[in-house]
A and B are shown apart, each in its own frame.
Chain A
Amino acid sequence: MTGAFLDATVRMATPLVLAAAGELVVERAGIINIGLEGILIGGAFGSLVGATQGGVGGGVIGAVVGGVLVSVLFLSFVVFGGTDQIVTGTAVTMFALGATGALYRTLYGSAGAALTIPTLAAVPIPVLSGIPGVGAALFAQPVITYVCYALVPALWWWLYRTHAGLALRSIGESPAAAVAAGISIRRVRALAVVVQGVLGGLAGGTLVLAQAGTFAEGMSAGRGFIAIAIVVLGRWQPFGVALAAVVFGGASALQFAMQALGLGIPYQVVLAIPYVLTLCALAGVAGRIRAPAALGKSEAE
């Protein structure tokens, strides 16, 4: 029971870590991207198209391409057009959800024709996966989960130990100082959003390739919005964000555990838990966290 719960937690947390890591990067550069939900669905649809053409590898490439395409839509307006981040992000999400829905119905027939595509199988790591208790849950997962294990410390190192990371953070904290130091805000922000497109696209691809094994309209189901909350909850720190993602993965996994236990609790209550938890957590951390000072401000230059 606990083994299955832990396994489900890690599985549910994987796309959340990827998506939240991408959002963390852009938020440290002073951008809040509600279009992340659209990036996820773009990645999910891209991975479907890729996987039907070129197997799992094609699926991964398709996920990245789909995510980056959506992120480019966002960044051309916000970074180069100086448009409002919230409104643009909302529109980008609407665009991506509508476009993927329409293309899916046109290319793959009407809804209901469920496609089966090659999926990312679990790859148990010898020895480690044999650790009693947590071994199977942590080390018998698809490769994309292991990518997350490496991503989080790498992101921390990049943000706090490299000049590029410093440049990114300076834009989020004090754009004027960044400009004075000769940093191009536009270039760094544009690159940050592209990185978010890659990570968010992979997150969407994970939903298709490692979880559902197929695509459904709107299958991102608000995970992009949750990832934004995770970044706040994780205090804009890579390890904090990873921990927050695991908490959310656990809440989603609880839904299966509770159904298995048959406690008679309506399933909608269980499904609502992660969302309510986000609200409680955001209220709970109030006053003890500080967002990047320039977050949400387009007028940086």
Chain B
Amino acid sequence: MLAALARRPAPILIAGLLIALGLVLAAAGVDPWSAGAVLWRGAFGSWYALSATLIRATPLILTGLAVAVAFSAGVFNIGAEGQLLVGATAATWVALRLGPHTGFLTIPTVLLAGAAAGAGWAGIAAWLRLRFEVLEVISTLMLNFVAGFLVSYLVRGPLQEPLRIYPQSSSIPRGAQLPALVPGARLHIGFAIAVAACVAAWWVLRATAAGFRLRATGASPTAAWSAGLIPVGRTMATAFLVSGALAGLAGAIEVTGVTYALYEDLSPGYGFTAIAVALLAGLNPIAVVGSGILFGALEAGSGALQRDAGVPAVVVSVVEATLILVLVALNRVRLPSSGSGGGGSPGAVRASEAG
């Protein structure tokens, strides 16, 4: 059995994994087929459901892109969750400070504040990595917790709504709220911003010198350094900051487009699902849009699953984890400079098949 596993790992691993998934679902009282139908209706069954899916997909696309950019450069930023929270916090603060005096620059200012804060939060981990060689996997995880405590403190302290009843901020003014994508719909322009960011990132990675430096650093830092033309440290730092900015933007868009206020459970773990989004997309920015929508559908549908079928919504994270494991077992995911995987084509090439 073990010898067979060592020879042909992927099929056996995936079969075992699906059995494990089946056992968990069965123990949780889920009938996969009827649950799948409920999930589908909840995600795509009506205009309302579709709009909910795309609203849910927006932060997943942006954080997924954040992870994809970082991983492409060989930076293991798993702190998108914290960067998103800090971005949401900064956006809320700026929106409330601007008050009712709003103009056409209000929304760009608020969104930029979120992106800058996210970049700053990621900058801490980048600095620790480059100056002190602290593994970013550990530092970004720690910073996620710190960001959570920061929000928890602010919504019970300096940023709490004036009546001081609920642990949340005041609502941000009308002029700082994102307009609807189509008049009358719930879907806001944040979705369009997320898609535009993906297209822009794809173009930068594909067609610019900066994009080449980033991919070269990710593919092999040693080779990039030996080539002499690529400042590896600065490239990694740039990727880290851009990644943080995208996650921070996701937080700002969530506040200005969906919640209109800051509170603790603003993110149901978008920053962690983002890793699955980026991996499913094979780190390709364009494919991130598709995989973000898929995960948005899973999460939007899971609400329906809990309401209509009595299935705990957390089951979805088991499904997401299964998906990641299947992808790594199939070696669809080739991570740059992570010291893993055998030969094969680079991630960007495989992405076109995976997305």
Distance in angstroms between the alpha carbons of A80 and B138 in the assembled complex = 25
Tell me whether B142 is interfacial, beta carbon within 8 Å.
yes
Contact call B329/A77, Cβ cutoff below 8 A: yes
With A84-B340, A87-B324 in contact, do A77 and B13 touch (Cβ < 8 Å)?
yes
Distance in angstroms between the alpha carbons of A92 and B20 in the assembled complex = 12
Distance in angstroms between the alpha carbons of A73 and B331 in the assembled complex = 17
Contact call B138/A225, Cβ cutoff below 8 A: yes
Contact call B339/A297, Cβ cutoff below 8 A: yes
Closest to A32 in B: B137
Mark the stretch among A128-136, A166-174, A276-284 that contacts chain B: A276-284
Contact call B9/A82, Cβ cutoff below 8 A: yes
Contact call A283/B132, Cβ cutoff below 8 A: yes
With A80-B6, A87-B328, A98-B318 in contact, do A299 and B153 touch (Cβ < 8 Å)?
no
Distance in angstroms between the alpha carbons of A36 and B352 in the assembled complex = 33
Mark the stretch among A11-19, A101-109, A153-161 that contacts chain B: A101-109
Which B residues lie within 8 Å of A102 (CB)?
A: 24, 28, 311-312, 314-315, 318
Distance in angstroms between the alpha carbons of A225 and B132 in the assembled complex = 19
Distance in angstroms between the alpha carbons of A279 and B319 in the assembled complex = 32
Contact call B146/A276, Cβ cutoff below 8 A: yes
Closest to B20 in A: A73
Contact call A90/B324, Cβ cutoff below 8 A: yes
Which A residues lie within 8 Å of B28 (CB)?
A: 102-103, 105-106
Distance in angstroms between the alpha carbons of A64 and B38 in the assembled complex = 36
Closest to B317 in A: A98
Distance in angstroms between the alpha carbons of A83 and B10 in the assembled complex = 10
Tell me whether B50 is interfacial, beta carbon within 8 Å.
no
Distance in angstroms between the alpha carbons of A251 and B341 in the assembled complex = 39
Distance in angstroms between the alpha carbons of A91 and B138 in the assembled complex = 16
Tell me whether B145 is interfacial, beta carbon within 8 Å.
yes
- Across the interface, B134 reaches (CB within 8 A) one of A84, A97, A99, A282, namely A282
- Across the interface, B328 reaches (CB within 8 A) one of A84, A98, A105, A275, namely A84
Within B126-155, the residues touching A (CB, 8 Å) are: 128, 131-135, 137-139, 141-143, 145-146, 149-150, 152-153
Contact call A76/B134, Cβ cutoff below 8 A: no
Closest to A95 in B: B321
**Chain B 1-38 near chain A by CB (<8 Å), digits 1 or 0:** 01001100110010011001000100111000000000
7 smallest CB-CB distances across A and B, nearest first, come from A98-B317, A95-B321, A286-B132, A98-B318, A101-B314, A94-B321, A91-B324
